[in-house]
Structure 1
Amino acid sequence: MTIRASRIAALLSTAGILAAAVPAGAETVKLTILGVGDAYNFAEEDGRGGFARLNAVAKAERAANPNTLYVFDGDMLSPSLLSGFDKGQNTIDLTNLVPFDIAVPGNHEFDFGPENFIEKMKASDYPWAAINITNADGSPIEGLGGVMVKEVAGLKVALIPVAQDTSPEVSSTGDLKFLPTVDTAIAAAKQAREDGADIVVGVVQTDMTNDRALIASHAFDVIMSGDDHSYATAYDGVTAYVETSIDGQFLSPIDLTVEIGQDGDGNRTIDWVPAFRFIDTAMVEPDPESQAMVDAFTAKLDESLNVEIGATETMLDSRRNVIRAEESAMGNVIADAIRAATGADIGFTNGGGIRGDRTYDPGTVLTRRDVLTELPFGNVTVVTELPGSQILAALENGVSQVEKGAGRFPHVSGMSFAFDASAEAGARVSEVMVGDAPLDPDKVYSVATNDYMLGGGDGYAALGGGKVIVNAGNGNLMANDVIDHIVAAGGVKVGVEGRIRTLGAN
């Protein structure tokens, strides 16, 4: 691994200052914690991230300090281009090269159902754990661990693994039960402290709102968190925190200089000071063994995915902040494609299922790879019949969390609507039109959507209960419908047309 010499010098200087602050006679341990999460894509992007660089960092950290804990805080099996074919096995193969000390399942571990997660868990050369996931009857899931206590250089380090309790809303978790993220985590952390843990580390897959609640509890010494796809560090004098970025692009190992001593009564005391390090993986040499596996996966994909399907005449935008908040030409072409493939009255899809997070300039020639990158979940196009009242309820759900950037934001075909994000959730939608006529709450319409939404994913319970015309077993792969639609149309000609209008303050 190559890191700029100036960074190394700065780290050594920091370590020297910390060492000087430790009183003579105390036992001092340096504990390093490296966390990563939201690692979907096996290859680098623009020379940064990917498993070859991630594995290189993990190997280097363990070589530099045997007192290193390497933790995964959720989301690897999906979504990615390759996971659409192997349901995430590529990420298991790559992480098995440099195993984690503990891995917490994120919501995307269940995108292909709980059976696939259990299969991939069994194929892992490291333990998976989550204290707040059980079977429907409350019994433990075979192979899924709980709180883990690691003995590290005389320290008892408790790892508290906690999953996101909203997973049933945003993934295909079947009948698994998810207990409250924050309450369960805090209770377990306090119990671990009572049981004699010297250092308590939360390994959590949850959003920043929950992260702040966990930090404020002061039940943890360290929190390594995923889910938000961002990089952040914080320390309030009690709890050190890292939000672990996406695809291993930016990493922040925490070095705890831990002083093990005694108080005046001879009781064991633990004091520590954190030092955050920043690693831009663009400056890291890929691990050769991992890179060889990455190259093999790349070759496997290239042959079939680089086939051109047509040019776009308009600018397509699938950036996360756009696709989850407003009308987008990318959302329009996908909704149009599933509607055209089925002949339904309405096409309806969710922004969270569109994952390319990029723009395509007019004139860009699209490939199969582009479509499968945008739609990596392997969802199937389905058709149901619903009254207009339920379609309105579905639209209300779609815009109910727009201010949070939630993936449920709807993209539509064959209809249009307006919404006011400043209004109370559940009363935001107005001016709904199907074709040239106002939505009739009593009329039954045929709706093309994806199997995830039909099953209630992203809170779309309103799409259930109708007469299913095309179920998941008989539907086409959604990405194939989009590819065929673009080919048949001779490219992409649709733009932003006013299908979704924003009223008031957003």
Structure 2
Amino acid sequence: MPDRKTEVPPDESITYSSGMRSGPPDLRIVHYNDVYHVDQSSSEPVGGASRFMTLIKYYEEDEIFKGQSNLVTLFSGDAFNPSLESSVTKGDHMVPLLNNIGTDAAALGNHDLDFGVRQFKHLSSKCKFPWLIANVLDPALGDSVPIGNCKKTHFITTSNGIKIGLIGLGEREWLATINSLPPDLIYKSATQTAKELVPQLRAEGADIVIALTHMREPNDNKLAEQTDGIIDIILGGHDHYYSHSVIKGTHVLRSGTDFKQLSYLEARRRTDKSGRWDVDIIRRDTTSAIPEHGSTVELVEKLTASLKTTLQKPVGFTAAPLDARFRTVRLRESNIANWVCDIMRHYYSGDCSMMASGTVRGDQIYPPGPVLLKDIMNCFPFEDPVVVIKVTGQAIWDALENGLSQYPALEGRFPQVSNIAFKFDGQKPSGSRIVSATIGGDPIDMTRKYVLVTRGYMARGKDGYDSLLIEEEGGQAEEIVSEENGILISMMLRQYFMSLRVMGQWKYWGNNMGRHWNHVTSKVNETHTHHDPSTSPASPSTRREASGWDNWTPQKIRERKSSIVRADESDDEDNDKNYDAKQAFIPEIEVIDKEMQIMRRVFAKWARIAHVESRLGEELKDGEFQVDWTRAIAPRIEGRIICVGGEQK
């Protein structure tokens, strides 16, 4: 059923006026960039794909535009990651939205490659528009062929005959942060590439030239400065804010983020023989006053409905209990935190890593057995990416002191670490509790600069981590991998588990992804030994017919979960669409989880009254790990954090 026409509040704000607004424009453009979350946020502008679509439909169909040229919609990259939804769908859910928006062309963004080039090619093949990048070439694809088989340039002819020449450009900086790229990529200067290709676009009849870029604003400004006006408009992405400037006659525009803003441009050809254009730019914020687009609401619900099923699928197996209890991670070393910090460090080849223990939200012991995707998402729900910074030893020491400053309160700032070891005395005054600390086995050199892998949250100085504050925020930490370039911890863990699988890997898991993750897992395996899959897995258990305490022994829980979940299910979109929730017994998993939650609450209350301290269970012994589809993890503690005074039990 078609959507009824909805009234859009007239709350446009003028970003730039040429003073030449008489008569209908020759060209109408909508620009947007960096979209991640399909649902609205809690603060204004709320964004959300459904309200954003209402704005798109307004500029496409409203009566005031009747008789004018059709709308051209351009996107400047980053849609397939990062978000919690993408952690599940690997970006697949964004394709119908980008298509329905009416996107005519897109620049390649760094996060569009987070799942590897093969997955990007799969996603882009389902898009009804081309992806562009002219200055990043992959020799393995042929002479002068862009990465991912993107196009260098593209022509759009509008309904009134205007010929738009498009060129896609990216920056060197974000290429260095993606670990799954093909080897031997060729990066060419954006300016030099533009100087080579823009004249060709003009020679082929382009009336107006627009660069779709995914670069930071200073690089877009540099491009405008060095190309002396040969580009009419630069529509940029990568930065998550709205800005506009005119440099040497070239408009440089970025249009916000996350479906929260868009730009509407009207261009009129000048009547002189200069070939230049007068451009008017209007900013629209996607506020809660804008009604939702009914069809898009339904589409979003449909796209996210399958997430529940996917969340119940196993991504890995643990042979050791994973201790994510607050009273562990916020007071002492934890095996799950050690494992995650090690993955973070080796993923980016840092000297060390540190995360605030509030990152770990599970507040439970995950027993040996299948690890479901929802376990990862629930335990690591935050959407600030992993970042890499360069800081002095003194800054790391101060960060550790900050993390210990509220001990023994169960504060989320307590530090969990990799390649760092420290002893502290909780009875000493805050700010002077560290007794000794090392990085890589050597005492911390206060003047040396170390490469630290951490969370974006901490690099913004949150939870008192002022010493890790990046220069852009007024601190002294040098940013190597920014939040715009980092990936989520939840996605990092999902890819780690995928690299351990011997059956059912992602359909579009490429060789470059495999090589990188083989390196990471081999490094992590030096501390957290992997168990090889069994060649003779246990016979599937039958579904339980009766409840009772006999069903709650550790062995029975593992058997029930392993039999209920189809552990050999291939993790790709095509199989997900045909995944039979009844066959997978997902309702039964929900029953087990609900009963487990009740039992945990009852036991926790009993333990408090009886003054009984619950203990971590044992790791699976030889012969108990009977799964043939993956290697199992076995995270351990190894004395990285030692309390020598005031230890809390």
TM-score band by shorter chain is 0.5 to 0.7
Q: Give the 3 Å change call, closer, same or farther, for CA 334–44 of structure 1 in structure 2.
A: farther
* Gap runs ≥5 in structure 2: 1-5, 313-322, 351-355, 365-373, 393-414, 423-435, 446-452, 455-488, 500-511, 533-599, 601-613, 617-639, 643-649
Letter in 1 for 2:280: A
1:204 to 206, 213, 219: 213
Letter of the aligned partner of 1:213 in structure 2?
K
> What do the CA deviations read for 1:426-479 (whole angstroms, capped 9, x no partner)?
xxxxx9714985269xxxxxx99969999xx9xxx9x97997463999699xxx
Matches of 1:333 and 1:57, distance apart in 2: 51
Deviations 1:269-311 (A, max 9, x none): 53422222111101422222111121234444468879xx988
From 34, 38, 41, the equivalent of 1:42 is: 38
Secondary structure, counterpart of 1:273 in structure 2 = strand
Query: What letter matches 1:42 in structure 2?
Result: V
1:234 aligns with 2:245: yes
What is the aligned partner in structure 1 of residue 171 from structure 2?
164
Percent identity over the alignment is 20
Specify which of 260, 270, 278 is matched with residue 275 of structure 2: 270
Give the partner amino acid of 1:470. N
Q: Provide the C-alpha distance between the structure 2 equivalents of 1:191 and 1:104, rounded to a whole number of angstroms.
A: 19
Match of 1:79 in 2: 82
Residues 1:186 and 1:341: Cα distance change in structure 2 (over 3 Å): closer
Of residues 125, 149, 152 in structure 1, which corresponds to 2:155? Answer: 149
Q: Distance in 2 between matches of 1:106 and 1:45?
A: 23
Deviation per CA, 1:375-410, whole angstroms, max 9, x where unpaired?
A: 698x9xxxxxxxxxxxxxxx9x84179xxxxxxxx9
Q: Does 1:119 align with 2:122?
A: yes
Partner of 2:336: 337
Question: Within 5 A, what are the aligned runs for 1:317-466?
Answer: 337-340=336-339, 369=377, 371-374=379-382, 398-399=389-390, 412-413=417-418, 415=420, 433-434=438-439, 438=443
1:287 match: 293
Aligned-partner Cα distance in 2 for 1:143–1:435: 42
Matched length: 395
Q: Which of 177, 187, 192 lines up with 2:196 in the alignment? A: 187
| Deviation at residue 232 of structure 1 after TM alignment | 1.0
Is the Cα contact below 8 Å between 1:157 and 1:197 reproduced in 2? yes
Paired residues of 1:71 and 1:102 also in contact (CA < 8 A): yes
Quote the Cα distance in structure 2 between the aligned partners of 1:415 and 1:437: 9
Could you tell me how far 1:335 is from its partner in structure 2? 9.5
1:470: which partner in 2? 525
Report the Cα offset of residue 38 of structure 1: 1.1
Structure 2 length normalisation: TM-score?
0.50
1:489 is displaced (CA, Å) by 9.9
In the TM superposition, residue 79 of structure 1 has moved relative to its aligned partner by: 1.0
CA contact (8 A) 1:128 1:145 kept: yes
Question: What is the distance in 1 between the residues matched to 2:176 and 2:333?
Answer: 22
SS state at 2:165 partner: strand
The separation in 1 between residues aligned to 2:259 and 2:187, in whole angstroms, is 27
Distance 1:360 1:469 in 2: 22
Q: CA deviation at 1:194?
A: 4.6
Cα 1:199–1:334 change in 2 (3 A) is farther
Which of residues 232, 235, 254 in structure 2 aligns to 1:221? Answer: 232
Deviation at 1:51, TM superposition (A): 2.1
Note closer, same or farther for the CA distance 1:361–1:287 as it changes in structure 2 (3 Å cut).
same
Separation of aligned partners in 2, 1:338 and 1:498? 12
Q: Residue 241 of structure 2 contacts residue 254 of structure 2 at CA under 8 Å; is this kept in 1?
A: yes
- The one-letter code sitting in structure 2 at the alignment partner of 1:187 is E
1:30 aligned to 19, 26, 33, which one? 26
Q: Does the 8 Å CA contact 1:79/1:376 hold for their aligned counterparts?
A: no
TM-score with structure 1 setting the length: 0.62
Q: Structure 1 residues 230, 114: CA separation in 2 closer, same or farther (over 3 Å shift)?
A: same
Contact 1:39/1:50 (8 A) holds in 2: no
> What amino acid sits opposite 1:84 in the alignment?
S
Change in CA separation of 1:360 and 1:156 when aligned onto 2, cut-off 3 Å: same
Kindly state the Cα deviation for residue 46 of structure 1 after the two structures are TM-superposed. Answer: 2.0
CA RMSD between the two structures: 5.3
Alignment counterpart, residue 253 of structure 1, candidates 261, 264, 269: 264
Residue by residue over 1:214-237, the C-alpha shift from the partner in whole angstroms, topping out at 9 and shown as x without a partner, is 221323111110001111122346
Between Structure 1 and Structure 2, the one with more strand by share is 1
1:243 maps onto 2:245 in alignment: no
Is the contact between residue 77 and residue 108 of structure 2 (CA under 8 Å) also seen in structure 1?
yes
What CA distance in whole angstroms lies between the structure 2 residues aligned with 1:51 and 1:86?
17
Structure 1 letter corresponding to 2:225:
A
